[in-house]
């Protein structure tokens, strides 16, 4: 008899939970459809193929090499896009610093002379990477490009080398040039011009910092209005003089102070404990953090307004975290997604925060200040939208 009563009580709890899910279908659908939609967007938006490296080849005046872009385009393959062949490296190097180019390949001036002397010549390959994975990939592609360019150099150099040997040394001394030099007259010398050497901890530290700031801001604010609505506090707001804008600004300021304190502590740990450099202007660094927190708080408050329960608010917060990991550039570069998915990526505050913080901390400056404007614009848009939705919710009561 006691077992039957126990089973009855257990079944009543099961039925109660089922009824709560049915009464709040939004939480159920966000749990089921949310991850599915994110994975579907990721699968449709990411091709699995890395973006071709934008490359400029520098051939100094007087060097007898082809200056036709199409000749090198046929050699480079799909991993590299040859933008042009120039004589002066200064403009190409400036574009490399501004991250408008991925590779600058500089041909040697004394190729034929060193070949005739039996010596290898160095082909300079310059790139600008702080990502250790992309740094290794870029160096590998640069080596492959050098080998392909080597073919044209080899063919011309061997022909002229044989002619020189026959004419100046005599046929019996053709073999004076070492075989290894004949087989590979040039060698690549890669130079990473980035101010911070590629390092896993150093590179990912600003990205983790940005992700922590967004997730903390979203999680704290996502539950605030939901609890007040379920606890009956919202009824007091409806009959009080406070309006929706004042309520939202109060939330921004309260949670903003908390996030600012946490941001200061985490930033201090990164800089002084983990030795992550801060090469840029500290004022710009603070402005980026403030804009990131501002936009993240707006995202969390928007979730708090649209969620009908604490369970759904937590689920939506986790969906935002999942989307941020996939689309923010934390794992894969944003440039490797399709354009429409890139637009979604830049709507996430953390996407802009990661790029800006990595540039300011590891490069000393940033050439994408427009992303700071995107952060502010997203924050303002979320503030306005949250205020309007909250005003409508309060007026319906």
The closest of 244, 219, 245 to 234, measured between CA atoms, is 244
Identify the pLDDT of residue 14. 62
Question: b vs e for 327-350, b when ≥16 Cβ sit within 10 Å of the residue's Cβ?
Answer: bbbbebebebbeeebbeebbbbbb
For residues 379 and 170, the model is more confident at: 379
Task: State the Cα–Cα distance between residues 48 and 256, nearest whole angstrom.
Answer: 38
- State the pTM of this model: 0.84
**What pLDDT sits at residue 295?**
97
pLDDT value for 51: 84
Q: Does residue 153 sit within a domain?
A: yes
CATH number at residue 168: 3.40.1710
| 42 is a domain residue | no
269 and 169 in one domain?
no
Indicate whether 335 pLDDT > 50. Answer: yes
165 has a pLDDT exceeding 50: no
Paired tokens of 178: 């070492």
Residue with tokens 């006691």: 2
Residue 38 lies inside a defined structural domain of this protein:
no
Q: Which residue has the higher pLDDT, 25 or 206?
A: 206
- Contact (CB, 8 A) for 352 and 213: no
Question: Could you tell me if residue 20 is inside a domain?
Answer: no
Specify the pLDDT at position 64: 74
Single residue among 169, 192, 215 that ends a domain in this structure: 192
**pLDDT in the model for residue 166:** 45
Q: For residue 324, which of 302, 296, 303 has the smallest C-alpha distance?
A: 296
| DSSP secondary structure code for residue 337 in this structure | B
Pair 101, 149 in one domain: yes
Is the same domain home to 264 and 282? yes
- 269: tokens are 């740990």
Q: Which two tokens stand for residue 302?
A: 């928007």
Give φ, ψ of 203 to 5 degrees.
-70, -45
227, 242, 243, 245, 307 from 234: Cα distances, Å? 9, 11, 11, 14, 14
Same domain membership, residue 203 and residue 187: no
* Higher pLDDT pick, 379 / 186: 379
- Predicted confidence at residue 300, as pLDDT, reads 94
Spatial separation of the C-alpha atoms in residues 237 and 251, rounded to whole Å: 14
Report the pLDDT value the prediction gives residue 152, as an integer from 0 to 100.
62
138: closest CA among 187, 193, 84?
Answer: 193
* Confidence band for 171, pLDDT divided at 50, 70 and 90: very low
Residues 259 and 348 in one domain: yes
Instruction: Match 């999942």 to its residue by tokens.
Output: 322
In a domain, 106, yes or no: yes
Task: Identify which of 359, 371, 193, 208 has the alpha carbon closest to the alpha carbon of residue 277.
Answer: 359
- Residues with Cβ within 8 Å of residue 340, at least 6 apart in sequence: 45
Assigned domain for 47 exists: no
Number of domains present in the structure of the chain = 2
Same domain, 187 and 251: no
pLDDT confidence band for 170 (50 / 70 / 90)? very low
SS3 of residue 236 by DSSP: helix
**pLDDT of res. 110:** 73
Do 265 and 389 lie in one domain? The reply is: yes
Is 9 part of a structural domain of the chain? no
Of these ranges, 221-230, 344-353, 388-397, the one predicted with the greatest mean pLDDT is 344-353
Looking at 192, 210, 225, the residue that finishes a domain is 192
Structure tokens at 396: 């319906």
- Return d(Cα 328, Cα 318) in angstroms, integer: 15
Segment among 14-23, 84-93, 355-364 with least mean pLDDT:
14-23
* Neighbour-count burial for 147-157, b at 16+ CB within 10 Å, e otherwise: eebbeebbebb
Q: State whether 223 and 161 are in the same domain.
A: no
Most confident of 51-65, 105-119, 164-178, 280-294: 280-294
Within 10 angstroms of residue 313's Cβ, the number of other Cβ atoms is: 27
Considering just the CA atoms, what is the radius of gyration of the chain in Å? Answer: 30
- Residue 176: per-residue pLDDT: 62
- Which helix (H) or strand (E) element contains residue 391? helix 370-396
Do 116 and 81 touch, CB atoms closer than 8 A? no
The predicted structure's pLDDT at residue 380: 96
Task: Copy the structure tokens of residue 193.
Answer: 């011009």
Of 192, 217, 236, the position where a domain reaches its end is 192
Could you tell me which residue, 150 or 302, shows the higher pLDDT? 302
DSSP 51: P
pLDDT score of 74: 73
More confident residue, 29 or 348: 348
Question: In this structure, are 135 and 254 located in the same domain?
Answer: no
Helix (H, G, I), strand (E, B) or coil at 46: strand
CA 32 to mean position of chain CA atoms: 28
Residue 95 belongs to what domain range? 53-192
Please write down the HEC assignment for all residues of 76-105. Answer: HCCCEEEEEEECCHHHHHHHHHCCCCCEEE
Average pLDDT, the chain: 82
Comparing CA positions, the residue from 226, 299, 317 lying closest to residue 34 is 317
DSSP assignment, residue 169?
I
Cβ atoms of 344 and 361 closer than 8 Å: no
Do 68 and 202 belong to one domain?
Answer: no
DSSP letter at 270 equals I
Based on the fold, state whether residues 267 and 214 are members of the same structural domain: yes
With respect to residue 91, please indicate whether it lies within any of the assigned structural domains: yes
**Range list of β-strands (E), the chain:** 53-58, 80-86, 103-106, 121-127, 186-192
Average pLDDT for 121-142: 87
| Residue-wise pLDDT tens digits, 243-275 | 888 888 988 999 999 999 999 999 999 999 999
Average pLDDT over residues 355-373: 96
262 and 307 within one domain: yes
């Amino acid at each position: 008899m006691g077992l039957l009563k126990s089973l009855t009580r257990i079944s009543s709890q099961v039925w109660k939970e089922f009824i709560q899910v049915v009464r709040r279908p939004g939480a159920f659908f966000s749990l089921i459809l949310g991850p599915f939609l994110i994975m579907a967007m990721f699968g449709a938006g990411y091709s699995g193929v890395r973006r071709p490296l934008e490359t400029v080849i520098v051939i100094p005046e007087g060097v007898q090499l082809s200056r036709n872009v199409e000749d090198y385009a046929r050699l480079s393959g799909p991993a590299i896009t040859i933008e042009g062949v120039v004589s002066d490296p200064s403009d190409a190097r400036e574009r490399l610093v501004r991250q408008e180019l991925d590779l600058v390949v500089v041909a040697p001036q004394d190729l034929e002379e060193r070949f005739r002397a039996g010596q290898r010549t160095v082909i300079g390959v310059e790139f600008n990477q702080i990502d250790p994975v992309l740094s290794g990939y870029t160096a590998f592609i640069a080596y492959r490009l050098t080998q392909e360019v080597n073919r044209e150099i080899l063919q011309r150099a061997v022909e002229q080398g044989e002619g020189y040997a026959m004419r100046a040394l005599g046929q019996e001394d053709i073999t004076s040039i070492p075989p290894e030099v004949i087989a590979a007259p040039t060698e690549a010398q890669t130079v990473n011009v980035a101010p911070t050497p590629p390092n896993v901890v150093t590179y990912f530290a600003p990205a983790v910092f940005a992700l922590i700031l967004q997730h903390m801001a979203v999680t704290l604010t996502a539950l605030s209005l939901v609890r007040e609505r379920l606890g009956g506090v919202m009824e007091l707001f409806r009959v009080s003089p406070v309006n929706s804008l004042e309520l939202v600004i109060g939330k921004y300021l309260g949670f903003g102070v908390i996030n600012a304190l946490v941001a200061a502590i985490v930033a201090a740990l990164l800089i002084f404990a983990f030795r992550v450099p801060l090469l840029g202007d500290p004022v710009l660094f603070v402005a980026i953090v403030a804009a990131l927190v501002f936009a993240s708080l707006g995202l969390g408050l928007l979730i708090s307004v649209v969620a009908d329960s604490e369970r759904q608010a937590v689920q939506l917060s986790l969906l935002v975290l999942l989307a941020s990991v996939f689309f923010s550039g934390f794992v894969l570069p944003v440039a490797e997604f399709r354009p429409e998915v890139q637009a979604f990526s830049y709507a996430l505050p953390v996407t802009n925060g990661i790029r800006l913080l990595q540039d300011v901390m590891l490069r000393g400056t940033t050439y994408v200040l427009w992303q700071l404007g995107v952060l502010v614009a997203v924050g303002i848009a979320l503030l306005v939208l949250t205020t309007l939705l909250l005003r409508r919710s309060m007026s319906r009561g």
